[in-house]
């Protein structure tokens, strides 16, 4: 099962690759769509300003390849801004479109709420039979570092988890078919994160074997 970690210049690649390997899913780093051809599983990390990250991803040439990969229901994992990029767009850069693979918008936390960024450990509460969270105690803690959150409109056909920060209930993980994404950083979430990545690896193998 060939797994690729997409390097478009905007991700914490070393830590993500190390965590995935520890979870039993060794990855190959790819910098061009041609290098990614034939991949069974794709990982899209991301960190930083939405507009800058979206522009870097568009310039990388990976977008058509990634769309084909997701449309074919091949296993995919987006991490942090890698989740936000799947949405229609973001308050952080209103003129820069997201990929629109999932319906929703990325919004800034209210100024009247807790301190921004939302940084540190917070609980994740399961919604439905989540492939990534099943088997974990509800309310397990993950590590977050973000100033914007996903306001997800695609309420049908998904499972995952939510997290409360002040008055905001944010989407912390989503699964729809073979597509998965997390707002938290599994590579920084110690045992919780390793468990989530192992669950993703197991789910990816099932999809690949069934294809």
Average pLDDT of each block of 10 consecutive residues along the chain (211 residues)? 93 91 96 96 94 94 96 97 96 95 94 89 95 95 96 82 95 96 97 97 96 84
Q: What is the pTM of this model?
A: 0.95
Q: What is the pLDDT of residue 187?
A: 96
In whole angstroms, give the CA distance from residue 183 to residue 185: 7
Closest to 88 measured CA to CA, from 167, 6, 150: 150
- Residues 15, 9: Cα–Cα separation, whole Å: 14
Strands 104-108 and 89-90: parallel
Q: State the Cα–Cα distance between residues 137 and 134, nearest whole angstrom.
A: 8
**What is the set of active-site residues?**
80, 185, 187
pLDDT of residue 211: 84
Fold designation for 3-210: Rossmann fold (3.40.50)
pLDDT for res 111: 85
Residue 105: in which H helix or E strand, if any?
A: strand 104-108
């Amino acid at each position: 099962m060939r797994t690729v970690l997409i390097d478009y210049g905007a991700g914490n690649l070393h830590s993500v690759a190390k965590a995935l390997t520890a979870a039993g899913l060794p990855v190959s780093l790819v910098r061009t769509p041609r290098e990614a051809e034939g991949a069974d599983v794709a990982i899209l990390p991301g960190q930083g300003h939405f507009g800058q990250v979206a522009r870097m991803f568009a310039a990388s040439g990976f977008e058509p390849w990634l769309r084909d990969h997701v449309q074919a229901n091949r296993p995919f994992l987006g991490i942090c801004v890698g989740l936000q990029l799947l949405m229609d767009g973001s308050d952080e850069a209103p003129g820069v479109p997201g990929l629109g693979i999932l319906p929703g918008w990325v919004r800034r936390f209210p100024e009247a709420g807790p301190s921004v960024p939302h940084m540190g450990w917070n609980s994740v509460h399961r919604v439905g039979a989540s492939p990534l969270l099943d088997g974990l105690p509800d309310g397990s803690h993950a590590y977050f570092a973000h100033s914007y959150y996903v306001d997800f409109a695609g309420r049908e056909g998904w499972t995952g988890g939510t997290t409360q920060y002040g008055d905001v209930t944010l989407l912390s993980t989503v699964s729809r078919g073979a597509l998965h994404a997390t707002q938290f950083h599994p590579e920084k979430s110690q045992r919780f994160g390793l468990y989530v990545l192992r669950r993703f690896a197991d789910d990816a193998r099932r999809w690949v074997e069934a294809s």
